[in-house]
Amino acid sequence: MGIIPRRKGGRQAVGGTRDDKAQRFEQLAAPLEKQVYHTCFNLMGNREDAEDCAQEAMLRAFRALDTFRGDAQFSTWLYKIAVRVCLDALRKRRQTVSLDLLSESGWEVPDGAPELYEQLEKGERRRLLRDAIGQLPADFKAPQVLVDLQGLSYEEAADVLGLPLGTVKSRVYRARRILLRILSQSGELFLRDGRPKGEGRED
């Protein structure tokens, strides 16, 4: 995926000279290209949709570059656009999970839910985690991806999503609970007694 979005024919409608705007966008966006793609991948769950959303986000950002005044970090501004693109796509897909069904599983979530991520190993377990994230409702998925996978602070995620800080914290916490419930059903990650492998054990 190229940094500067191009339409067929290579023409852009921009303010000022095209070269000046393209150069400025290149300088600002180049260091963030991979992060934007990974954010889209974690939200969308597959490479094709992630590439489409990342490209669309870059195109929107490039078109709107003249509106960026530097009041916030460019990364925050760009994340806002990327997350909005992905959430719009997810809503069209109507990919949701029934919280009622999950709550009926009867599995009690232990304290220290973030420790789940320390239990996950490479390969198959990462795939299982991605699949579980894909089952999250979009409103929970976005905060969880930004905080737990992209490493943003709660405050930064709240700024990106345009939500109150308390709402972001609550949704991340609830997302972690849902993920634990989903993953607890996988024998690859959890023991039969419902406890994560290695948790409180010497073996």
- Would you state the pLDDT for residue 185? 75
For the chain, percent of residues with pLDDT exceeding 70: 66
Mean pLDDT of 103-123: 48
Q: How far, in whole angstroms, is CA 75 from its chain's centroid?
A: 14
Mean pLDDT of 152-160: 92
Report yes or no: 81 and 38 within 8 Å, Cβ to Cβ.
no
Q: Grade residue 121 by pLDDT with cuts at 50, 70 and 90.
A: very low
Q: b or e along 68-96 (b: 16 or more beta carbons within 10 Å of the residue's beta carbon)?
A: eeeeeebbebbbbbbbbbbbebbeeeebe
Mean pLDDT of 2-25: 62
Task: Give yes or no for residue 152 having a pLDDT over 70.
Answer: yes
Distances (CA, A) of 23 to 3, 26, 29, 30: 10, 5, 10, 10
CA torsion angle 168 78 178 92 (round to 10): 110
Q: Please give the residue that has the higher pLDDT: either 148 or 115.
A: 148
- Would you state the pLDDT for residue 71? 75
- List of domains in the chain: 18-93 (1.10.1740.10), 99-183 (1.10.10.10)
Task: Give yes or no for residue 104 having a pLDDT over 70.
Answer: no
Distance CA 116, CA 118 (A): 5
Q: Grade residue 106 by pLDDT with cuts at 50, 70 and 90.
A: very low
Task: Give yes or no for residue 169 having a pLDDT over 70.
Answer: yes
